[in-house]
Structure 1
Amino acid sequence: INSEKHLSTCLGALLSRGLKSLSPVLVPLNLALHPRKDIMVTASDDHLWKMWAFPNGNIIMTGEGHTDWLSGCCFHPSGTKLVTSSGDTTVRIWDFTKGECILTLEGHSRAVWDCSWHSCGDFVASASMDNTSKIWDINSERCRYTMRGHKDSVNSIEFLPFSNTILTSSADKTLSLWDARTGLCAQTFYGHLHSCNHATFNMKGDTIVSCDSYGVMKFWDVRRVTPMVSVDAGPHPGNQVVFDPSGHVVALASSDGTVKTLELNSGQLSSLVGHEDEVQSVVFDHKAEHLLSGGSDGTVRLWS
Structure 2
Amino acid sequence: MRVLLASPRGFCAGVNMAIECLEECIRIFGTNIYVYHEIVHNKYVVDRFSSQGVKFVNEVDEVPEGAVLLYSAHGVSPVVRQAARARKLRTVDATCPLVTKVHLEAIKYAEEGYNILLIGHEGHDEVIGTMGEAPESITLVESPEDVDRLEFAPGAKLAYLTQTTLSVEEASAVITRLEQRFPQIEHPPKEDICYATTNRQFAVRSLIPDCDVLLVLGSQNSSNSRRLMEIGQSLGKSAHLIDGRHELRPEWFDGAERVLVTAGASAPQVVVEECLDYLRETFGADVVEEVTREEHVNFPLPRELRQMARVQLQ
TM-score of the two chains, using structure 1 as the length reference: 0.31
Q: Which has the higher contact order (CA 8 A, sep 6+)?
A: 2
More helix by share: 2
